[in-house]
């Protein structure tokens, strides 16, 4: 019962924070500096790890499907398999999991320490709403950067699969053939749906992490607890939302 | 009580505006079952400097947070300039600045940007005007050379002075200080006390200081309140404070070290 109340309280405070941040949307043009800084932090600094992971996920997908296709099934469909898997599921989910661990934890840690060391109280006494200068630029940045990161993850994953498909001796498919099945059978909607999912995941990760950070009470130990909670809650929400968003988009 | 001036002088424009008063009426605050403040009542006249003393954990900082609207009363009322301190509009209508115990400086910003944040966010002036205001505030606190430093590069005393300068940039009608001399050496404590008194004398800003520094209270205050265990045990002038009638207040102000019967053995666990 106590946990249920905590969950409902968390949901309520998260929605309140969203409403407050949305009410300051008009101030975004004059916060362009903060927005660009967050785009850099969320997007640019996450890019290398997204590229490395998606390259190897695409490679493993090609390797596994190539190995399975040795015994049954036509190998030229490996391109389609890698393409669909990356665009519809693995691209958005993998980027979201990475962001939860890297960006969600950083946001929770920064805002929690600002709360614990009374910087948030200082903002409030200055009549500067934290939702305006700390939450809104981050939410705007994730909405812009999440599709970019997901498209890059998709492309690099496809490329990794193509390299493995060509140079693995038991697959040996030329890139032309690999990409031909992708072009032939994949639709724009497959990529689009993946981008919609990624937007939802990214937005939720940032919102939840901001809320957990801003509601931290106590000392340094609670900062660590908030970081852990932000990552765990984000991961759970990614997987739960994945099901519902996928179903809604079908 | 000292004759209270009725106007506050803006440190930058020198414009005179009516000074604000504070009233705490039958204030109670509980966290769960723990009563932090018990029916506390007092008022601070416009332009007055009021020092609230008390031992650690007596509820002084919680009381201060009620005045700036960071905490809501369990019962009772706090008004600033006859407006409810808990209402968000009050912070828009009355300029209140709180100097936090640890400074609460924004660690990711330079000293200059810490001071410039308020005028930038409230679009009080253009960047040249903000620069002039920030440099003037730093000059008042003798901090001109610290403008480009980060808070992590400052000493404890400098952090407190930067926090006061940041509060000053807000052109406050009400200045609140939370333990401004804690963790400082005696000379720096005296310096901070001099700064508080000078700002009050020059700009006649209504000032409330929370502290357990007896010298500060006796030397710079118009009136003093002593809060112990959530109750206001003393309210009077510094002269009256020198001859307290309540033995608990007397013990707090002049504690004798008693090795035969040490206090810590009498503390509740």
> What span, in angstroms and rounded, lies between the C-alpha atoms of A48 and A202?
18
Cα A135 to Cα A147: distance, rounded to the nearest angstrom: 19
* Candidate from B70, B102, B106 with C-beta closest to A125: B70
Residue A10 lies in a domain: no
Cβ neighbours of A41 in B, within 8 Å: none
User: Residue A123: is its pLDDT beyond 70?
Assistant: yes
- Mean pLDDT across B131-158: 92
Tokens of A62: 């090609």
What digits encode the pLDDT tens for the residues B46-86? 989 999 998 888 899 899 999 999 899 999 999 999 999 98
- Does any CB of chain B come closer than 8 Å to the CB of residue A124? yes
pLDDT for the residue B1:
47
Q: Which of A19-28, B194-203, B249-258 has the highest mean pLDDT?
A: A19-28
A13 belongs to a structural domain: no
Q: What are phi and psi of B57, to 5 degrees?
A: 80, 10
CA distance B210 to A118: 17
Q: Is residue A11 situated within a structural domain?
A: no
Which of chain B's residues have a Cβ under 8 Å away from the Cβ of A122?
A: 98, 100, 104-106
Indicate whether B3 pLDDT > 70. no
Q: Has residue B199 got a pLDDT over 80?
A: yes
B2 pLDDT above the threshold of 90: no
Does the beta carbon of A242 lie under 8 angstroms from any beta carbon of chain B? no
Answer whether A121 touches B (CB < 8 Å): yes
**Residue B267 pLDDT:** 64
Tell me which range, A55-64, B15-24, B206-215, is most confidently predicted by mean pLDDT. Answer: A55-64
Contact list, B118 vs chain A (CB under 8 Å): 126, 128
Say if the Cβ atoms of A126 and B121 lie within 8 Å: yes
User: Average per-residue pLDDT in chain B?
Assistant: 88
Q: Is B120 on the interface with A (CB under 8 A)?
A: no
Best mutation target among B68, B71, B121 (most A Cβ atoms within 10 Å) is B121
Q: Looking at beta carbons, which residues of chain B come within 8 Å of A125?
A: 68, 70, 91, 96-98
Q: Which of A119, A125, A133 sits opposite B68 (nearest CB)?
A: A125
pLDDT, residue B52, reads 94
End-to-end Cα distance, chain B:
40
Residue carrying structure tokens 């492309």: A155
Under 8 Å between Cβ of A165 and A79: yes
Q: Distance between CA A172 and CA A165 in Å, rounded? A: 6
Residues 153-182 of chain B with CB under 8 A from chain A are 170
- Do A128 and B121 count as a contact with CB atoms less than 8 A apart? yes
pLDDT of residue B11: 75
Instruction: Give yes or no for B98 touching A (CB within 8 A).
Output: yes
Number of domains in chain A: 1
Q: Per-residue pLDDT tens for A151-164?
A: 999 999 999 999 99
> Interior CA angle at A85 toward A82 and A86, to 5°?
80
Indicate the SS3 state at residue B122: coil
Asked whether A178 and A79 are in contact (CB, 8 A), the reply is yes
End-to-end Cα, chain A, rounded Å: 35
Q: What is the mean pLDDT of residues B160-171?
A: 92
Rg over alpha carbons for chain A, rounded to the nearest Å, is 21
Cβ separation of B104 and A119 shorter than 8 Å? yes
Which of the four pLDDT bands, split at 50, 70 and 90, describes residue A24? very high
Put simply, the answer to whether B104 touches A118 (Cβ < 8 Å) is: yes
Q: Is the pLDDT of residue B38 over 80?
A: yes
pLDDT at B213: 85
* Two tokens, residue B132: 């002039």
Chain B residue at shortest CA distance from A126: B118
What is residue B4's predicted lDDT score, i.e. its pLDDT?
A: 47
> What is the number of residues in chain A?
250
A128 contacts in B (CB within 8 Å)? 117-118, 121-122
Residues 166-225 of A with CB under 8 A from B: none
- Whether residue A108 lies inside any domain: the answer is yes
Q: Does B92 touch chain A if contact means CB atoms closer than 8 Å?
A: yes
What average pLDDT score do residues A51-73 get?
89
Cβ atoms within 10 Å, residue A40: 12
Which contacts (CB < 8 Å, 24+ apart) does range A26-31 have?
A27/A132, A27/A136, A28/A136, A28/A137, A28/A140, A31/A132, A31/A133, A31/A136, A31/A137
Min Cα separation B246/chain A (Å): 35
Q: Decide if A220 is inside a domain.
A: yes
Cross-chain Cβ contact B107/A118 below 8 Å: no
The secondary structure element, H or E, covering residue B239 is helix B238-241
Nearest to A203 by CA among A17, A24, A50, A3: A17
Please tell me which residue, B55 or A233, carries the higher pLDDT value.
Answer: A233
B32: left (phi over 0), alpha (psi -120 to 50) or beta: left
- Domains in chain B (CATH in brackets) are 1-95+178-269 (3.40.50.300), 102-170 (no CATH)
| B96, β-bridge pairs | B174
Whose tokens are 């001859």? That residue is B243
- ipTM value of the model? 0.83
Q: Report if residue A74 sits inside a domain.
A: yes
Question: B82 — alpha (psi -120 to 50), left (phi > 0) or beta?
Answer: left
Which residues of chain A neighbour B97 with C-beta distances below 8 Å?
125-126
SS (H, E, C) chain A: CHHHHHHHHHHHHHHHHHHHHHHCHHHHHHHHHHHHHHHHHHHHCCHHHHHHHHHHHHHHHHHHHHHHHHHCCCHHHHHHHHHHHHHHHHHHHHHHHHHHHHHHHHHHHHHHHHHHCCHHHHHHHCCCCHHHHHHHHHHHHHHHHHHHHHHHHHHHHHHHHHHHHHHCCCCCCCHHHHHHHHHHHCCHHHHHHHHHHHHHHHHHHHHHHHHHHHCCCCCHHHHHHHHHHHHHHHHHHHHHHHHHHHHHHC
| Domain of residue A81, residue span | 32-249
């Amino acid at each position: 019962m106590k946990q249920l109340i905590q969950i409902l309280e968390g949901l309520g405070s998260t929605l309140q924070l969203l409403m407050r941040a949305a009410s300051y949307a008009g101030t975004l043009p004059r916060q362009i500096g903060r927005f660009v800084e967050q785009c850099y932090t969320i997007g640019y600094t996450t890019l290398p790890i997204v590229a490395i992971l998606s390259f190897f996920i695409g490679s493993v997908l090609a390797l596994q499907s190539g190995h399975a296709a040795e015994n049954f099934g036509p190998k030229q469909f490996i391109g389609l398999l890698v393409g669909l898997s990356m665009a519809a599921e693995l691209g958005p989910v993998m980027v979201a999991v990475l962001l939860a661990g890297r960006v969600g934890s950083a946001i929770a840690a920064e805002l929690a320490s600002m709360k614990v060391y009374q910087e948030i109280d200082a903002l409030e006494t200055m009549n500067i709403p934290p939702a305006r200068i700390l939450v809104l630029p981050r939410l705007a940045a994730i909405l812009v950067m999440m599709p970019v990161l997901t498209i890059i993850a998709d492309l690099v994953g496809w490329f990794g699969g193509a390299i493995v498909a060509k140079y693995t001796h038991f697959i040996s498919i030329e890139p032309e053939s690999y990409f031909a099945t992708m072009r032939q059978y994949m639709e724009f909607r497959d990529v689009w749906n993946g981008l919609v999912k990624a937007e939802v995941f990214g937005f939720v990760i940032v919102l939840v992490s901001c809320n957990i950070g801003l509601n931290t009470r106590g000392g340094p130990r609670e900062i660590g607890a908030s970081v852990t909670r932000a990552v765990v809650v984000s991961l759970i929400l990614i997987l739960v939302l994945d099901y519902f968003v996928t179903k809604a988009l079908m | 009580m000292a004759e209270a001036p009725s106007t506050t002088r803006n440190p930058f424009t020198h414009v005179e505006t009516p000074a604000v008063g504070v009233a705490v009426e039958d204030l109670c605050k509980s966290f769960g079952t723990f009563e932090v403040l018990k029916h506390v009542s007092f008022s601070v006249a416009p332009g007055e400097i009021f020092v609230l003393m008390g031992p650690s954990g007596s509820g002084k900082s919680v009381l201060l947070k009620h005045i700036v609207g960071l905490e809501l009363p369990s019962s009772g009322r706090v008004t600033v300039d006859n407006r409810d301190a808990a209402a968000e509009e009050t912070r828009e209508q009355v300029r209140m600045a709180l100097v936090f115990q640890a400074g609460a400086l924004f660690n990711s910003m330079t000293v200059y940007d810490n001071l410039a944040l308020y005028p930038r966010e409230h679009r009080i002036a253009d960047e040249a005007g903000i620069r002039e205001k920030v440099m003037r505030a730093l000059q008042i606190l003798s901090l001109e050379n610290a403008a480009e430093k980060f808070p992590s590069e400052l000493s404890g005393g400098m952090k407190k002075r930067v926090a006061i300068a940041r509060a000053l940039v807000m052109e406050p009608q009400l200045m609140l200080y939370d333990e401004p001399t804690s963790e400082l050496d005696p000379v720096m404590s005296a310096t901070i006390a001099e700064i508080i008194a000078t700002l009050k004398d020059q700009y006649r800003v209504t000032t409330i200081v929370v502290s357990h520094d007896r010298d500060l209270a006796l030397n710079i205050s118009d009136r003093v309140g002593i809060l112990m265990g959530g109750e206001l045990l003393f309210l009077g002038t510094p002269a009256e404070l020198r001859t307290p009638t309540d033995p608990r207040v007397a013990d707090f102000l002049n504690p004798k070290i008693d090795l035969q019967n040490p206090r810590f053995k009498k503390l509740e666990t």
